[in-house]
């Protein structure tokens, strides 16, 4: 007799997932765990294997090998039961154009096995969470803006109170206002369920996610909080300074401080006599005050700040490193340990 639930302390456990489409390996030995209540950003360049992984977790497609568990339930062995724990919003979510929002959600609730009064209660609840009440609930889906259509997709995924919700590109094609609205909606789910979001809009991911996992060419290449990943992939602090100094003057002013600064010219002197430099150091301690004190004695300063690497910088560094490691034949051996 097979145990129904294993690894129950995690919302999702993926162990060595592989998927091939014919001869093409879309994902290769992907392993990771998602804690209960965690919001995970799932990043990767086009074709990296994000949708493939999400579809396997959602029970829509079998893995070629490996195991996936949702709330302890094996997706391969008990797909219907696993699906009751997960709400999935696919990329380019296809919605019927000629149905009203509330009617569509009632229909979806019935398909998910909800009954009678439960349907009404749950549909009202998800419409409230996604701000689709009143006028919006009576609108024909085909007449909604893209942002509101995305909300309908999220409301659908929330029906049935799943413990895990997976969203594939929830903000794709939205304008900045709509992106903020969807971010706030995702933020409002914090603590209620585990959330996996794939997105290309990296600042959004950084704002809303507890942890980030980066996949490249079908393999996990990085996993951690944005802060951990900054330390791992870009362990250098960069100060941007705009000053009335030539490169040589800047070099001479920094040398006695002994922090091993490497100087790069960002912009040469402008008509007002100010040049901009990037000062890079491996010293990871706050140096802003010392720099202001010392440099201002030798030159005029217009601006000086610590330029923190963005998630986009981390993403570029992580994917670049995996390409380099692949070229040298050492990539893949690290893949297993990466996302634990
Ligand atoms: N049904 C399929 N048949 C054959 N190849 C496929 C199929 N689905 C995906 N692929 C290929 O598998 C690889 C991974 O695709 P996947 O859609 O999982 O990537 P992704 O990271 O979601 O990309 P994107 O960000 O562009 O959506 C790609 O090379 C893709 O062309």
Q: Find the range with the poorest average confidence among 177-186, 189-198, 214-223.
A: 177-186
Could you tell me the pLDDT band of residue 206, with boundaries at 50, 70 and 90?
confident
* CA distances, 176 to each of 167, 195, 201 (Å): 18, 22, 11
How many angstroms separate the alpha carbon of residue 280 from the centre of ligand 1? 38
Contact yes or no for 200/172 (Cβ under 8 A): yes
How high does pLDDT run on average in the chain?
Answer: 88
Query: Beta-carbon neighbour count of residue 338 at 10 Å?
Result: 18
**What is the structure's pLDDT at 153?**
92
Q: Which domains does the chain have, with CATH numbers?
A: 10-85+162-231 (3.40.50.300), 235-306 (3.30.70.260)
Could you tell me the pLDDT band of residue 29, with boundaries at 50, 70 and 90?
very high
Distance CA 75, CA 83 (A): 8
ipTM of the complex: 0.96
Higher pLDDT, 183 or 334: 183
**Would you say the CB of residue 51 lies under 6 angstroms from ligand 1?**
yes
**What is the structure's pLDDT at 324?**
75
Helix, strand or coil, per DSSP, at residue 329: coil
Q: Would the pLDDT of 163 be above 50?
A: yes
What tokens appear for 210 in the block?
Answer: 């507890």
**What is the structure's pLDDT at 323?**
76
3-state helix, strand, coil in the chain (%, to 5): 40, 25, 35
Could you tell me the pLDDT band of residue 233, with boundaries at 50, 70 and 90?
confident
Distance CA 179, CA 170 (A): 9
Report which of 157, 177, 175 is spatially closest to residue 167, judged by C-alpha positions.
157
Q: Find the range with the poorest average confidence among 101-110, 239-248, 275-284, 322-331.
A: 322-331
Residue nearest to atom 4 of ligand 1 (CA): 21
How many angstroms separate the alpha carbon of residue 222 from the centre of ligand 1? 20
């Amino acid at each position: 007799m097979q145990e129904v639930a294993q690894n129950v302390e995690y919302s999702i456990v993926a162990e060595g997932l592989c998927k091939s489409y014919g001869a093409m390996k879309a994902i290769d030995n992907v392993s990771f765990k998602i804690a209960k209540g965690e919001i995970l950003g799932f990043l990767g360049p086009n074709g990296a294997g994000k949708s493939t992984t999400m579809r396997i977790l959602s029970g829509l497609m079998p893995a070629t090998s490996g195991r996936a568990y949702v709330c302890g339930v094996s997706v391969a062995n008990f797909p219907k039961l696993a699906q009751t724990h997960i709400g999935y919003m696919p990329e380019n979510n296809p919605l019927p154009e000629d149905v009203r929002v509330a009617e569509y959600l009632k229909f979806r609730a019935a398909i998910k096995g909800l009954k009678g009064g439960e349907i009404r209660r749950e549909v009202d609840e998800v419409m409230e969470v996604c701000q689709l009440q009143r006028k919006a609930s009576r609108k024909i889906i085909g007449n909604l803006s893209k942002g509101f259509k995305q909300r309908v997709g999220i409301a659908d995924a929330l029906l049935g109170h799943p413990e895990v919700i997976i969203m594939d590109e929830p903000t794709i094609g939205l304008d900045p206002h709509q992106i903020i609205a969807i971010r706030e909606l995702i933020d409002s789910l914090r603590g209620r369920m585990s959330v996996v979001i794939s997105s290309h809009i990296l600042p959004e991911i950084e704002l809303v996610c507890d942890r980030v996992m980066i996949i490249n060419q079908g393999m996990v290449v990085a996993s951690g909080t944005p802060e951990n990943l900054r330390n791992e992939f870009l362990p250098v602090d960069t100060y941007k300074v705009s000053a009335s100094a030539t490169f040589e003057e800047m070099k001479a002013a920094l040398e006695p401080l002994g922090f091993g600064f490497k100087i790069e010219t960002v912009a040469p002197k402008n008509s007002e006599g100010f040049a901009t430099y990037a000062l890079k150091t491996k010293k990871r301690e706050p140096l802003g005050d010392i720099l202001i004190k010392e440099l201002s004695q030798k030159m005029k300063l217009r601006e000086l700040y610590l330029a923190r690497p963005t998630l986009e910088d981390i993403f570029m560094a992580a994917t670049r490193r995996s390409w380099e490691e692949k070229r040298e034949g050492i990539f893949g051996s690290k893949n297993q340990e990466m996302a634990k």
